[in-house]
Each structure stands twice: as C-alpha cells, then as structure tokens.
Amino acid sequence: MKHKRFKAEQIVVMRREAEIQLAKGLDLVEVCRTLGISEQSYYRWRKEYGGLRVDQAKRMKSLEKENTRLKKIVADLTLDKTILKEAA
C-alpha cells in the first residue's frame, strides 16, 4: 500500500466515517479498505485523535508545531550559554 499523509482534519473526518460504518455492522477490514488505510493506521488514529473534532485537531497540530519550534529555540539558547561560559 502506498504511503499517504493525511491532514488532521481529514483524519478526523475519516475516523467519523469509520465509526459510522462500524456501527452499521461492517467489518473493520472492509471499512479500512474502503477508506484506503491500514488497520494499524485506524488504531493509531483512534488512539491519537480519540474524540476530537476538526477544530480541536487543527489546534493540536498547530500546538505541536509551536512546541517543536520552541524546543529548538531552547536548545540553541542552551548551546549559546554553554559557549559563553567556556569563553569566560
């Protein structure tokens, strides 16, 4: 199966579709096949995006990006501080 990247909004919508189809009595394998994802992706998404709505998923992804950016800034500042200590 080809590796695809889905946006958080798409994942939330696909999870809701999957839940509807599962409630109708379809098998998980069939549901995943119609959505074009693997069972592993379904379970990973279910764990990560649990009961999120589309706006909450967007917010979560933006916070993750901001957190990554801030971690890089802290690492750079720590390195600068260490260099200044050694120079002094």
* Amino acid identity for residue 49 in this structure: Y
Contacts of 38 (CB under 8 A, 6+ apart): 1, 32
What is the pLDDT, as a whole number, of residue 40? 94
Give the pLDDT score at 29.
94
pLDDT digits (tens, 9 = 90+) for 23-56: 999 999 999 999 999 999 999 998 988 877 888 8
Where exactly are the structural domains of the chain?
A: 8-87
| 21-to-12, 18, 38, 40, 47 alpha-carbon distances in Å | 14, 5, 16, 17, 18
pLDDT digits (tens, 9 = 90+) for 54-70: 888 888 889 999 999 99
What confidence score (pLDDT) does residue 39 get?
A: 93
- Is the pTM higher than 0.85? The answer reads no
- Quick one: average pLDDT of 1-24? 85
